[in-house]
Amino acid sequence: MRDRMHSRVVAHLKDGAAQYTAPAGGAVVSGVEVIIDHNLMQNGPEGVFRSDAVGITWRKAQLAAAQRGGVFAFGDEAYVVEETITDDGHMITAACMVQP
C-alpha cells in the first residue's frame, strides 16, 4: 500500500524523468522520475534558510542512492549532487547545484 501511495505522489508531483550518471563515468540510470524543488530550504546554525541548492527527490525503487558528484540530467539542465539530505527508505532527496 505504501509503494502505491509513493507511486501516486510522484505521478502527480513529478517534473519528469531524469538521467542519473554516477561520478567518474560510473553507472547510468535513465528514466528516474524526479521532483525538482528550486531554492531549497535547509537547516543551518541560524535555523532554516533558503539556499541556492536545488532539491531533487525520487523513489528509492528507481535509484537506490546518489553519490556526491553524480549528475542528474533533466531537459537542458544538469544538477550535480552535493549531499543526500533525506532518505526515509522509500523516497530520497538530494541537495544539488546547477552545473554551469
**pLDDT, mean of residues 70-80:** 96
| CA separation, residue 37 to residues 1, 33, 55, 68 (Å) | 26, 13, 5, 18
Report the domain count for the chain: 1
Residue whose C-alpha cell reads 508531483 in the numeric block: 13
**pLDDT, mean of residues 76-91:** 94
- The pLDDT score that the predictor gives to residue 82 is 95
The CATH number of residue 13's host domain is 2.40.10
- The pLDDT score that the predictor gives to residue 44 is 66
On average, the pLDDT of the chain sits at: 87
Range of the domain at 9: 2-98
